[in-house]
Amino acid sequence: MSLFNPWVILALICAFLGIGAASYTKGVKDEHDWQQLEIARLNKQARETEQRMGEVAQTYAQTLKKANDVAKVKEDKFRNDIVSGKLKLFAPVQASECAVPTTADSPAPAGDTETRAELDPRVAQSLVDLTSRGDQAIRSLNACIDQYEKIRSFK
């Protein structure tokens, strides 16, 4: 039996092709198994990150609720003081052009010389409503920004 026998050459070629095919199949299976492990690891990591994000969101929601509750108490006291007359709101107004003439020897008035008008309690309540909604929006926005920055740092 000679090495140059066509059957020997054919057998060697078939053996090499068989070994190559088996190696390729094993490599594909190994790669698939490795990818499945990597997917499982990344899914676990994503679930942990999602859980931490949920905890951060819950913390900021509680913080915002507490801040809104404190602000509500202050706002209610402010409203009650306006309704009871204990607190009055004033707005500066333009002094009239026909002011009372003063003599040259009279002293200038001391203290607050601004001309003011008292606001109607309903108008004062409307202003309190407007400012409280603005304050609440600002608190919500600040909590949203803080939460966004915290969650962005998870990456």
Kindly list the domain boundaries of the chain, sorted by start residue.
6-94+114-152
Is the distance from CB of 119 to CB of 89 less than 8 angstroms? yes
100-154 pLDDT, tens digit per residue, is 555 555 555 555 567 888 888 888 888 889 999 999 999 999 999 999 999 888 7
* CA R_g for the chain: 40
pLDDT at 48: 93
Single pTM value for the model:
0.60
Give CA–CA dist 107/155, Å, rounded: 70
